[in-house]
Chain A
Amino acid sequence: MRLRWLRLLAPLAAVLAFAFVLTSCGDSSDDESGGTGATGSTGIPEEFQAPTAAPDDAKSGGDLVVLNEGDIDYMDPGAAYYQVTYMLDFAVFRSLVSWAPDADTDPTPDLATGEPELSDDGKTITYTIRDDVKYAPPLQDRTVTTADIKYAIERSLLPGVANGYTSTYLSGVTGMDEAIKAAEKNTTEAPDISGIETPDDTTIVFNLDDTSAAGVMGALSLPVSAPVPEDYAKKYDAEEPSSYGEYAVFTGPYMVQNDCVDESGKVTDENCSGKITGYQPGEEIKLVRNPSWDADTDFRPAYVDTITFQEGFADPTSASKKILDGSSQVTGDFPPSPTVVKEVASGGKYDPSQMVVTPSGGERYISLNTQEPPFDDINVRKAVIANSDRVALRNTRGGELFGPVMNHVIPPLIAGFEEAGGLNPPEGLDFLASDTGDPDLAAEYMKKAGFKSGKCEGSECNITMVGDDAPPGRDTATVFQDQLEQLGFKVQFQPVEHSLMYTKFCSIPSQEPDVCPNVGWIKDFNDPQAFFDIPFYGPAINPSNNSNWPQLDDPKLNKAIEQAKLVTDPNERAQTYAELDKQTMELAPVVPWVWDNDILVRSDDVAQVTNLFNGLTDLSFTSIK
């Protein structure tokens, strides 16, 4: 009899013990940031602020490993449009201008010998480039010329290259419209952009129809201006899509291994084709030293001998621990999980300096469809923002270290951020005053909108929301759904796969739901223009690939956006965009909730340097101790 009772109790005891173990494991729903100390204007505790210079005793040699969850988007520099791809591109391609690790406002001359000359009317930009930069094998006997840079920009208009930003940011260049039309007609030959002139091998001139020089110069800091020799690339660009990415030629301190060089970067085959052998999509990318690179021509020191991107690390917790416990490794495209962040921040097993936090230059917000009831009423939008507990939304991503609560459009480290209020909301916008929500104020705004009870009532309060189907995006959407329902809305939430959310719902205005909870924006370059030109500009509403998710189309704001990009003086520009920021937030088109931080971890033996522009590791400045 006793034995039978024991047989029943034993498994019950096991279940209870297991449940106890589960519940005593913490979760990250509380706002536990870890870290103390002054935060500065980025909200990041001092002990986690990223080093942006190599140590004085940085050593040469060694093999660095970067762990990635996913892959780069394209090897072709003309097509690359992804933060993680830039991490690679900054090490293998030299552009007209680039970004040193500590450059957070102005780009660093790279191929250019110095700052560009801007004409008095602001419509002509002239760069002079170095005459001593050589290509990597198979073009090791060839020097970079301005014609190569011109071709690189022109080829980016081809649909086979499909650059996502040239036609936007370089739209002011003379002849750009004609070139775009020519590329539509002849899809296998790069069109000529008449406004780009190369009077000699070391001079390149950009003639503009307007004074949008700041946007042009910003775009030239991206890999699109990495030189591409026309006679070498033409045959690849004639294919649809272009296969130049499989044969790209490099100019940086490193190169992706190809059939010309071995692992040490030594040329092994003089008659090679240049076919890239060091890139296995989704698996591995192998960077070796570029034998043509001359350190005297470059601001990059390039300490390590090889860099390997290992891809496919789907679990951020185990991958982060592999880095922290291992050697010569850094994170690539994934943040450590909140559990690991807490563990490192609290000290103990790991040195807190193995983790660094940097503003990503990106932000997340929840868009409210301003073209459809009920969110076509500004008071309803203000009520929703006032009611939102934005700290709770931010915490779905892991807590304070993952970013400060967003209060306006321009994120930290972008010109105009401090002028717009810094970490605080713009003055006078009471609906943004509380980041944990103010239900009383929300009720007042609802009453102004005609809802006498202070909550939404009636059929127009039945709203649709399409968001991510996986955490943390799904968590954010669920928390926001609760907050909306507190205000009386009846929310029909449809979770879908992330890219589906964008391409089939939120970026098609005719299909767009009332709320898109998992949208945001990240800078293209360190200038505030990038945060307004598309996300809040009415004429940018695109019927099939829209990124103005709230579908905001305010004539006064549109005019202000058009005027702002023509301002050339940096101080005036910062102030102008700060005012534009306030003007945008006054219209309450979105619920701003976090300015993203990039969180990186490194192995103990890695002297990691972060590139402030990219928010990720600068491979050319990082060394092994």
Chain B
Amino acid sequence: MARYIVRRVLWGVALLVIVTAVVFILFYVLPTADPAKLRAGRTANPQLVQQIREQLHLDDPIYVQFWNYLKGVFFHFDFGESYLSQAPVKDIIFHRLPATALLVVGAVILWLAIAIPVGIISAVRRRSLMDRTTMVTSLAFISAPVFWLGLVALYLFASDVGVIPIFPGQGSYTTADSFLAKCGSMLLPWMVLAAATAAIYARYLRSSMIDTLAEDYIRTARAKGLPERQVIMKHAVRAAITPIVTLLGLDIGLLLAGNAILTESVFVIPGVGQEIVLSIRRSDLPMIQGIVLFGAFFIVIFNLIVDILYAFLDPRVRYQ
């Protein structure tokens, strides 16, 4: 197991270097706005634009910029400075990460709390009214775009613009001055982010449970006279949940990487997703690079955690 983990970590580092290279190449190959001109302003003369370009090292060869960047990241944990605000990229990301983390953690707890019981019950009571209702509802939530769902939730339940004003509205995270208040401000965003994901997870789990319940060992367990509850919860769920664990690792990594952009934008949560939107608009390469790298890091780490969890969840999995 230890060798497996070390191998995965080394592959993870290699992956981060490749991701960094890809972002660099994309930034230079695909058309992006010129950050030196954006900084210089609309009436700046070419000399000023060139001076800014030199200051930001934009006129260095790409491979020199890339090498300097890699050295900074891996040897000094320095992700450079934002072209626009000159603040260290690392500081900006760490400042925004708690908001995204709170959003993700809360949403994860909520969607698992919904998806797991719904998936299990739907599988166990296949084709019942409850099964059909939950599956149609889940289809509706999967189809609804997150931003639309978010706006509908705001207009229905937000305390500032809602018809039934019961939850804190847009921008309430920024004005919240305690952890509890911040959690309160996240109630609607949690529900919105959890809605579609819970629906997907419920369908996956239902499908996986149906396959597992048809397995021979489940029939054996029943034949041995084990209580149905034990058959389901101890034997079937444990095997059926592994695809969910895989999904969970990916989803958490992606959301921490900024995939909660739409939810953060609708509810004005100052998280990583919101920052990546701003950075792309301003062609702020160090910020884009830093956020992508952090995102890749989270995805690598959570995939590793998921793979290790497999060994505990499913005894059939052994790592050489």
**By the criterion of a CB under 8 Å from any partner CB, how many residues of chain A are at the interface?**
52
In the complex, whether B47 has a CB less than 8 A from a CB of chain A is yes
User: Cα distance A284–B99 when bound, in Å?
Assistant: 14
Cβ of A159 and Cβ of B265 under 8 Å apart? no
Interface segment, one of B28-36, B184-192, B205-213: B28-36
- A159, A168, A500, A504 pick with most chain B CB within 10 angstroms: A159
Cβ of A313 and Cβ of B268 under 8 Å apart? yes
In angstroms, how far is the closest chain B Cβ from the Cβ of A285? 11
A159 contact from B51, B175, B281, Cβ within 8 A: B51
CB-CB nearest in chain B for A157: B48
User: Cα distance A391–B139 when bound, in Å?
Assistant: 44
User: Cα distance A245–B86 when bound, in Å?
Assistant: 10
Binary flags per residue of B165-180, CB closer than 8 Å to A gives 1, else 0:
0000111001100000
In the complex, whether B288 has a CB less than 8 A from a CB of chain A is no
Binary flags per residue of A427-440, CB closer than 8 Å to B gives 1, else 0:
00000000000000
What is the count of residue pairs linking A and B with beta-carbon distances less than 8 angstroms?
134
In the complex, whether A563 has a CB less than 8 A from a CB of chain B is no
Q: Would you list which residues of chain A between 457 and 508 have a CB under 8 Å from chain B?
A: 496-500, 502-504, 507
User: Cα distance A165–B278 when bound, in Å?
Assistant: 25
Q: Would you list which residues of chain B between 51 and 101 have a CB under 8 Å from chain A?
A: 51-52, 55, 82, 84-87, 92, 95
Cβ of B44 and Cβ of A162 under 8 Å apart? yes
CB-CB nearest in chain B for A163: B41
Cβ of B161 and Cβ of A321 under 8 Å apart? yes
In the complex, whether A71 has a CB less than 8 A from a CB of chain B is yes
A280 contact from B45, B82, B270, Cβ within 8 A: B270
A313 contact from B32, B42, B171, B277, Cβ within 8 A: B171
Interface segment, one of A126-134, A210-218, A541-549: A541-549
- Residues on B with beta carbons closer than 8 Å to the beta carbon of A503: 33-34, 37-38, 283
In angstroms, how far is the closest chain B Cβ from the Cβ of A61? 19
Given contacts A165-B43, A507-B37, A545-B40, contact A500 B48 (CB under 8 A): no
By secondary structure, the A interface counts as loop
Q: Would you list which residues of chain A between 51 and 79 have a CB under 8 Å from chain B?
A: 67, 70-71, 73
Q: Would you list which residues of chain A between 379 and 403 have a CB under 8 Å from chain B?
A: none
Cβ of B34 and Cβ of A504 under 8 Å apart? yes
Cβ of A281 and Cβ of B160 under 8 Å apart? no
Q: Would you list which residues of chain B between 109 and 143 have a CB under 8 Å from chain A?
A: none
Given contacts A322-B161, A499-B281, contact A283 B43 (CB under 8 A): no
In the complex, whether A572 has a CB less than 8 A from a CB of chain B is no
In the complex, whether A160 has a CB less than 8 A from a CB of chain B is yes
- Residues on B with beta carbons closer than 8 Å to the beta carbon of A167: 45, 48
User: Cα distance A73–B52 when bound, in Å?
Assistant: 16
In the complex, whether A241 has a CB less than 8 A from a CB of chain B is yes
- A180, A319, A322, A504 pick with most chain B CB within 10 angstroms: A322
Cβ of A312 and Cβ of B37 under 8 Å apart? no
In the complex, whether B46 has a CB less than 8 A from a CB of chain A is yes
CB-CB nearest in chain A for B266: A315
In the complex, whether B24 has a CB less than 8 A from a CB of chain A is no
In angstroms, how far is the closest chain B Cβ from the Cβ of A590? 16
Task: Across the A-B interface, give the 3 residue pairs with the lowest CB-CB distance, nearest first.
Answer: A164-B41, A159-B51, A499-B33
A sample of 9 inter-chain contacts (CB < 8 A) reads A67-B171, A70-B278, A246-B86, A282-B270, A282-B278, A315-B266, A322-B170, A325-B161, A504-B31
Interface residue ranges, B against A (CB under 8 Å): 31-34, 37-49, 51-52, 55, 82, 84-87, 92, 95, 151, 154-155, 160-161, 169-171, 174-175, 264-266, 268-270, 274-275, 277-278, 281-283
| 20 more CB-based (< 8 A) A-B contacts, given A314-B266, A504-B34 | A159-B55, A162-B40, A162-B52, A164-B42, A164-B44, A167-B45, A184-B51, A240-B55, A241-B55, A246-B86, A281-B82, A284-B174, A312-B264, A314-B265, A314-B277, A325-B161, A499-B33, A499-B282, A500-B31, A543-B46
Interface residue ranges, A against B (CB under 8 Å): 67, 70-71, 73, 81, 159-160, 162-165, 167-168, 180, 184, 187, 240-241, 243, 245-246, 280-284, 310, 312-315, 318-319, 321-322, 325-326, 496-500, 502-504, 507, 534, 542-545, 547
